[in-house]
Amino acid sequence: MTISPELISHLAEFDAATLYEAAGQRGMVDPAIKPMWFGAKICGPAVTVSCPPRDNLMLHHAVAVAAAGSVLVATAEGYEYAGAWGEVLTVAAQARGIAGLVIDGAVRDIEAITERRFPVFSRGLAIGACKKEQIGRLNEPIELGGVTVRSGDIVVGTADGVVILEIGSIDQVLQGAIARREREAEIFRQLQTGKTTIKILNLPRWNRPGGAA
């Protein structure tokens, strides 16, 4: 199953938190994996990559075969003492139209990556070097920050974090996100009229000690 560019564009209108809620609070990646520069955003189908710690050979192979618009979703087993991605791979990825990177590991050359506006979400930064020797896995299910990711799943990353959306649920999630946006717009309208969130959301009342609510 493939997702149309139009559907990807609609999903990109929403932040990761809204899509997570619309997905039934499923797919949240470990919050320690976060955007490496302010304003970084990604939305696209995953190409999954598994690398041994301190070896980024498979990221080079992934860039060589990934389709334009895809997001590389990689695990380096959470290793944080070597930058598995840097400026060279960024330039290579942008030349092929790759939409971004999410990695459970570390990256480096972040100033150059920021200047090039390539969206990167990672567990951290490290100046340590990687080898390019060991064969890992491409396009096979991986564990990313507590979430199983399969190639083709939709990856959305915004300032709040990253959510993984199973490909079979995309239409339902999008409709849920639209409905949530409409509900929030109505809440905002009512707040402007002077109503409180307690009343609008019908929250449990708090009775002040010795007085009325």
Q: What CATH number was assigned to the domain covering residues 5-173?
A: 3.50.30.40
Query: Which of 47, 105, 98, 55 is CA-nearest to residue 75?
Result: 105
What confidence tier does 211 reach under pLDDT thresholds 50, 70, 90? low
Per the prediction, the chain carries an average pLDDT of 95
What pLDDT is recorded for position 97?
Answer: 98
Token representation of residue 119: 């969206």
Kindly tell me the burial class for residue 74, based on how many C-beta atoms sit within 10 Å of its own C-beta (0-12, 13-18, 19 or more).
buried
Token representation of residue 139: 């396009």
What pLDDT is recorded for position 212?
Answer: 52
Token representation of residue 109: 């050359």
Query: What one-character DSSP code corresponds to residue 205?
Result: P
74-87 pLDDT tens trace: 999 999 999 999 99
Give CA–CA dist 122/78, Å, rounded: 9
- Of the candidate ranges 7-11, 92-96, 203-207, the one whose mean pLDDT is the lowest: 203-207
Token representation of residue 198: 């307690």
176-201 pLDDT tens trace: 999 999 999 999 999 999 999 999 99
Query: What one-character DSSP code corresponds to residue 182?
Result: H
22-49 pLDDT tens trace: 999 999 999 999 999 999 999 999 999 9
Give CA–CA dist 22/184, Å, rounded: 13
Q: Is the dihedral of CA 163, 165, 171, 176 positive or negative?
A: negative
Mean pLDDT throughout 88-94?
98
What pLDDT is recorded for position 213?
Answer: 46
What pLDDT is recorded for position 1?
Answer: 66
Give CA–CA dist 50/53, Å, rounded: 10
> Rounded to the nearest 5°, which phi and psi values hold at 206?
-115, 120
- 19 within 8 A of 173, measured Cβ to Cβ: yes
Which contacts (CB < 8 Å, 24+ apart) does range 177-183 have? 177/11, 177/14, 177/18, 177/19, 177/21, 177/22, 179/22, 180/18, 180/21, 180/22, 181/14, 181/18
| In the chain, domain spans | 5-173
What pLDDT is recorded for position 210?
Answer: 65
What pLDDT is recorded for position 3?
Answer: 82
